[in-house]
Amino acid sequence: MPYPSNHVEWLEKLISFDTTSRNSNLNIVTYLKEYLESVGVSAEVHFNETRQKANLFAVLPSKSSSTTGGIVLSGHLDVVPVDGQKWDFNPFRLTSNGDNFYGRGTCDMKGFIAVCMSLVPQLLKMPRNRPVYLAWTYDEEVGCLGGRALTQYLKSRKIKPDGCLVGEPTSNKVIVAHKGICVWTVRVKGKAAHSSYALTSASCNAIDYAARLIVKIREIAEDIAENGVNDRFFDVPCTTMSTNLINGGIAINTVPAECTFSYEFRNLPEMAQEAIQERVSNYVETELLPKMKKEYSDAAICIDNLARVPSFPDAEEKDPFVALVRALTGDKETHKLGGATEAGLYALIGVPVLVCGPGSIAVAHQANEFVPKKDLEDSRNLVLNLVKKNQGMEAHM
C-alpha cells in the first residue's frame, strides 16, 4: 500500500493509530521510520526504559552535515483517552464534515505532524545549507516524558538549532510563553481503629490530617493569587494550585489508616516550582507531621512528584527565529498559554522556541475533537516558508 501523499492522507493514517498514552506507540513510530527511510531520511528510534514506547528523531541534513542551525519541528504522538466520551464519529477514523476534520488527535496534535510529514518530499528537494529536524515524542500527555529525553539527547549531541516550532493547537497563533506544571501525590498514614475509639490514642485519622494539608494548600494558593506575581496575558493571570483527587477510608465505622490525594500547581515563569513546593513541605515537616506523631509515633506523610514540566519563559522578541515566525504569521500580539508543553524543555536547553499549530485547544481532549481544514493549510504554508527562509530562500505567502 502506498504511503500518504498529502497532509490529509497523512492525517487519516496517523489518526488510525490508537496512541492513547497508556498504549505502546511503537506501531506508529515504526511506520513513520519506514516511510522516512524509504525516501532517504535517516531516522533514529529512542526507546524508553520499558522499550514499549519511543521517540522518533529524524534529520534532513545540510550539505555540510552540520548540526548547527536549522529548524526543529516538534510534536507528540500520544493522545488522551476517549473513554466515557460520546462521539458522533469513530474517533480513530478521520471524518470530513464541512470545514473540519474530526478524530482523536486531529488538533492535539497529529494535524501538525501530518503537515510536516507531507512536506518531507518538498524539503528534500531544497538545496539545504542548514538541517531540518523532525522530533516526534511519546507521553507528552502524561508529563512530557519523551520530550524530556529528547531535549537531553539534543543537548548531549551538542545540536544547536536556530529554533524549534512546537505545533500544539493554538489556532496558528504564536504562543510566546506558558506556565509550568507540577503534580504531586500525598500518602497520609495513620492508625486504624473502630470508630468508637476516634480521638483516642488507639487511633490516628489519616483523612483528618489529609484534610488539614488540603486546607493549607488552598491557603497557599490564595496567598499566591493575591500577593504573588500576576501576568495579564494569561487567561488566569496568576499561579494556580488545587487538590483534584482524593481517596481514603474503608468503612464508615472504621477510623481510616490511609488517605491519598493529589494536587497540582501551574506556575507562572516568574515563580520557581521549588519555592512553591517548599511551602507545602515546610508545613508538613514543622507543623502537621509533628502533631500527628503525638497521636501515633509511626504516622507518616509521604509526598511524591508524579510529573514536572518547566514553564516556558517569554520568548526573546529580538531573536531571529522569533522575529521570522512573527513575520511569516503576521501575528504581532502577545499570546500566553495556561497549559504546559514541550516548549519549556527546549527553552531549558537554550533553544529558541515558539508554540504555534493548527486547531484550537478548546476542542482538544473533548469528544468530537476536530481541526479546521484551513488551519492545516495555513500551518503547512507556515512550516514550508519557515524552513525556506531559514535556508535563505524566498518564501511564498
Mean pLDDT by 10 residues, the chain (397 residues): 94 99 98 98 97 98 88 99 98 99 99 99 95 98 97 97 98 98 99 98 98 99 97 97 98 99 98 98 99 98 97 97 98 96 98 98 97 99 98 73
pLDDT at 27: 99
Residues tagged active-site: 78, 140
Question: Is the pTM here over 0.75, yes or no?
Answer: yes
Residue spans per domain, the chain: 7-178+311-390, 180-309
Contact (Cβ atoms closer than 8 angstroms) between residue 122 and residue 174: no
pLDDT at 68: 86
What fold does the segment set 7-178+311-390 form as a domain?
A: Aminopeptidase (3.40.630)
pLDDT confidence of residue 397: 54
Question: Vertex 50, ends 47 and 51: CA angle to 5°?
Answer: 35
The class of domain 180-309 in CATH terms is alpha beta
Distance set, CA 357 to CA 75, 165, 334 (Å): 10, 9, 16
pLDDT of residue 66: 82
Fold matches, 7-178+311-390 and 180-309 = no
Q: Which residues are paired to 166 by β-bridges?
A: 74, 355
Q: What is the pLDDT of residue 396?
A: 63
Q: What is the pLDDT of residue 93?
A: 99
Q: How far is CA 231 from the centre of its chain?
A: 21
Joined together, the cell numbers standing for residue 316 give 526573546
